[in-house]
Amino acid sequence: MDGLERWRILRLHVEDQVPLAALAREGGIGTRTLQRWHQLYKKDGLAGLDDTARTDKGGRRTDPATIATIERLALTRPRPSIATLHRLTSEECLCDNRPAPSYATVRQIVQALDPALVTLALEGPASYRDRHELVFRRRAERPNQIWQADHTELDILIVGANGKPDRPWLTTVMDDHSRAICGYMVFTGAPSSLNTALALRQAIWRKTDPGWAMCGPAPFVETRETNLSLNKETVKKLRRAARETGESSLVDLAEPLGHLVAGDAWAALEERRHVGYHRWRPQSLVGGVATINPWVDHGDGTPSMEAGHHSGHTPPTLKTVVTEAREGYDALSNAMDAVLQAFAPALTSVGVRAR
């Protein structure tokens, strides 16, 4: 009943002097209720007859300690029934000289618990991540912001390496925003971080199929169509891209590569490739094949070639090359071990789940 309906009843008393007792008998409304309406009308006019919200609306008058007790018991495993919760809470309130809540109050408090909190407490972190983490906390707003990686065992049989039937595994990398497959890997044996890394590599690079346009973000695909050289410039780009994400785990992922390219073993191997490979090209380094044009134009249309250019390059001994290669390989192996150890935390920090 709103204020206008109350006024239509009360105006018979205010304007026509009908007794409140008669209005109560005819309208089926209590005399004390009519008296209260009359007092509100004399105090605030028609506005006093409107409904007013309670000052404690939306809050609970239940003791905070009682609420904490109900929530604590409701988040224990195995979860008690509402009747058991009400009985245990009433016993504790009796011991602490606090008023016991009603059954309805206990049920309302339990039903108001955060579903994510209930899942985490009763079913564990794995169920919490599957049900709530990506939905509520990690939602991509643009392509290439979040990728998801997952493994599944295919329902087909192939002939394995040992000649016996085997079921292959499929690892996929999917863009969370567009739901497009960016990369995949088919293999036999158990899933591993190495197979996930290979699928992720395919997801990053541009594809040869023009119909498969999905690829990773800069700095990987803007200027290079092939593999990046592992040198200081590449690591500088990786570090800059990692810092821009704000994820410390990605910064840690690039650190082993930074130590590798800054070390003497990798620098010697890179220098050996630089000299040994490039010295037979016209744009070679000093000490390689001459960079000048050997043909000389005499102005009469009969060019001649000046012969006798000799390189000042002294080839290394076999022992030197083998030593440099072994030290460079050892340094690379140690760096990649560190990268693989930091790989799983880095995937988790950017929202890629590998199960």
pLDDT in tens, 28-65: 888 888 888 888 888 877 777 777 655 555 566 788 88
Highest mean pLDDT among 2-16, 83-97, 315-329: 83-97
Local structure of residue 280 (DSSP, 8 states):
T
Question: Rounded to an integer, what distance in angstroms lies between the CA atom of residue 355 and that of residue 57?
Answer: 46
Report the Cα 233 to chain-centroid distance in Å.
Answer: 28
**Quick one: what percent of the chain has pLDDT higher than 90?**
15
For residue 183, give the nearest of 209, 222, 160, 157 by alpha carbon. 209
Determine the average pLDDT of the residues in 120-146. 76
CA dihedral of 83, 89, 92, 96, whole degrees rounded to 10? -140
Question: Rounded to an integer, what distance in angstroms lies between the CA atom of residue 147 and that of residue 176?
Answer: 5
Question: Rounded to an integer, what distance in angstroms lies between the CA atom of residue 189 and that of residue 166?
Answer: 9
DSSP E strands in 112-232: the ranges are 147-153, 158-159, 165-166, 169-175, 181-187
- pLDDT at position 181: 92
DSSP E strands in the chain: the ranges are 147-153, 158-159, 165-166, 169-175, 181-187, 295-296, 304-305
- pLDDT at position 90: 92
Phi first, then psi, for residue 296 (nearest 5°) are: -115, 125
Residue 284 has pLDDT above 50, yes or no: no
Task: Label residue 220 by pLDDT band (50, 70, 90).
Answer: very low
Question: Rounded to an integer, what distance in angstroms lies between the CA atom of residue 260 and that of residue 337?
Answer: 12
Question: Rounded to an integer, what distance in angstroms lies between the CA atom of residue 337 and that of residue 193?
Answer: 12
Coil, strand or helix: which one is 124?
A: coil
Residue 277 has pLDDT above 50, yes or no: yes
- pLDDT at position 103: 92
Residue 206 has pLDDT above 50, yes or no: yes
Q: Report the range of poorest mean pLDDT among 128-132, 186-190, 231-235, 307-311.
A: 307-311
For residue 255, give the nearest of 195, 339, 326 by alpha carbon. 339
